[in-house]
């Protein structure tokens, strides 16, 4: 069974420090862009190796100037996940030890997983092809 909790982004580090006592593994971090609500939701999937309990922690950041604390100090596995979210969504993780692109070239403009992303000269495939 997976427990779930939604928190304000300001309380992320405190909440993660508490969760770390029971959940020793950060499985992954993902994000979902909600342009209609003007937020990006960040989801942390945690697991206890001892009890196999799972936990899903959700928080939101504004789409413009998306910034949140890094949890690398709580789970070192967050390093690459946070870099990927920076690279693809533009979320900055304050306190991250190496906040730079990990998948795309350094000179890439924009963040491809934002739903309103457009890149000049790149054809967008229609959603329905018959």
Query: Can you tell me whether residue 124 is helix, strand or coil?
Result: coil
Does this model's pTM top 0.85? My answer is yes
Query: In this predicted structure, what is the pLDDT of residue 124?
Result: 62
**Element at 117 (helix H, strand E):** none
Distances (CA, A) of 123 to 68, 111, 118, 119, 130: 33, 16, 9, 8, 17
Domains of the chain and any CATH numbers: 2-94 (3.30.460.80)
Strands 67-69 and 92-94: parallel
Query: In this predicted structure, what is the pLDDT of residue 32?
Result: 98
Query: In this predicted structure, what is the pLDDT of residue 119?
Result: 75
Query: In this predicted structure, what is the pLDDT of residue 128?
Result: 55
Query: In this predicted structure, what is the pLDDT of residue 126?
Result: 63
List the pLDDT tens digit at each of the 130 positions of the chain.
789 999 999 999 999 999 999 999 999 999 999 999 999 999 999 999 999 999 999 999 999 999 999 999 999 999 999 999 999 999 999 999 999 999 999 999 899 999 999 876 666 666 654 5
Query: In this predicted structure, what is the pLDDT of residue 118?
Result: 83
Q: How many CA atoms lie within 13 A of 124 on its CB side?
A: 10
């Amino acid at each position: 069974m997976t427990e779930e909790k939604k928190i304000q982004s300001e309380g992320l580090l405190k909440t993660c420090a508490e969760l770390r006592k029971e959940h020793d593994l950060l499985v992954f971090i993902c994000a979902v862009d909600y342009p209609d609500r003007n937020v990006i939701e960040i989801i942390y999937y945690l697991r206890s190796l001892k009890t196999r309990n799972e936990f899903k922690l959700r928080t939101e950041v504004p789409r413009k100037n998306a910034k949140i604390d890094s949890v690398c100090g709580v789970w070192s596995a967050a390093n690459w996940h946070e870099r990927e979210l920076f690279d693809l969504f533009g979320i900055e993780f304050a306190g991250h030890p190496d906040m730079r692109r990990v998948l795309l070239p350094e000179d890439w403009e924009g963040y491809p997983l934002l739903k309103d992303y457009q890149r000049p000269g790149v054809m967008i495939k229609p959603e329905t092809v018959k």
